[in-house]
Chains A and B, each alone.
Chain A
Amino acid sequence: GAGVSQSPSNKVTEKGKDVELRCDPISGHTALYWYRQSLGQGLEFLIYFQGNSAPDKSGLPSDRFSAERTGGSVSTLTIQRTQQEDSAVYLCASSPRGGGPQAAGELFFGEGSRLTVL
């Protein structure tokens, strides 16, 4: 497709289980971002990938969260030993360029993966 694709769109899991969320960015976009949107909250930055550079992981809330991006394209966000407070919509976005003022902020978002931890 032409847009950012995320899967699954909905995931219900039990507390303590691991989950993986996948993001397919727009082809050719070098920058990829993960955000989390909790009920009644704004979007919380989690992690940012730009090309082959080391990712900016400064937003990951705990060491249970990790993400990787293979081949500069598809990314997987993994949450280990899920907790109820992890319930949220996880949004992925991509951008044709990363960093620098000219690229600032024009992100293309997917529809998100809604995670519910019981």
Chain B
Amino acid sequence: AQKVTQAQTEISVVEKEDVTLDCVYETRDTTYYLFWYKQPPSGELVFLIRRNSFDEQNEISGRYSWNFQKSTSSFNFTITASQVVDSAVYFCALSNRGGTASKLTFGTGTRLQVTL
């Protein structure tokens, strides 16, 4: 069985602070994919990133960065110099390679509130 845990239910930061959203996953598969999605107040989930289990290189995209560590089964997401527009619920998700590759297992989400 697959499981994704996002222990942080809600985080509040002041604009320009850095913030890290934690994600811990469980899977028995050796090949799998990890994702982050953003859900703004409009409700529409927006894809942010996909990593496969063979690629542990960290990735940076503008103010966003992701730290994938297989040794700790974690895929953490850091927002540098946060902005009010970053306020949203962020979901970490996991998919295996077999069967329906896009049948994602989602965590419960972390609500990020960025204030001025």
Q: Chain A interface (Cβ within 8 Å of chain B)?
A: 3-4, 31, 33, 35, 40-45, 48, 50, 56, 59, 89, 91, 93, 95, 98-101, 103-112
- Any A CB within 8 A of the CB of B61: no
Chain A nearest CB: distance from B22 CB in Å? 14
Please encode chain B, from 36 to 49, with 1 for each CB lying within 8 Å of some chain A CB and 0 for all others. 01000011111100
Identify which of A42, A99, A111 contacts B106 (C-beta below 8 A): A42
- Is there contact, CB below 8 Å, between B101 and A101? yes
**In the complex the two chains form, what is the Cα distance from A110 to B46 in whole Å?**
10
Cβ B44 vs Cβ A104 within 8 A: no
Which one of B4, B44, B93 contacts A105 once the chains associate, using CB atoms below 8 Å?
B93
Contacts known (A42-B91, A42-B106); A106 close to B47, Cβ less than 8 A: yes
Q: How large is the interface on B (under 10, 10 to 19, 20 to 34, 35 or more residues)?
A: 20 to 34
Residues of B within 8 A of A (CB): 4, 6, 31, 33, 35, 37, 42-47, 50, 52, 91, 93, 95, 97, 99-109
How many inter-chain contacts with C-beta < 8 Å in the A-B complex? 84
A33 and B108 in contact, given A3-B44, A105-B35, A111-B42 (Cβ under 8 angstroms): no
How many angstroms between the C-alpha atoms of A98 and B37 in the bound complex? 18
Contact status A45-B43, CB under 8 Å: no
Residues of chain A within 8 A of B37, CB atoms compared: 109
Known: A3-B44, A41-B108, A42-B109. A107 touches B103 (CB 8 A): no
In the complex, the chain A residue whose C-beta lies closest to that of B109 is: A42
Pick 12 A–B contacts, CB within 8 A, sort by A.
A3-B44, A40-B108, A45-B103, A45-B104, A45-B105, A56-B100, A99-B100, A101-B52, A103-B102, A104-B52, A107-B104, A109-B45
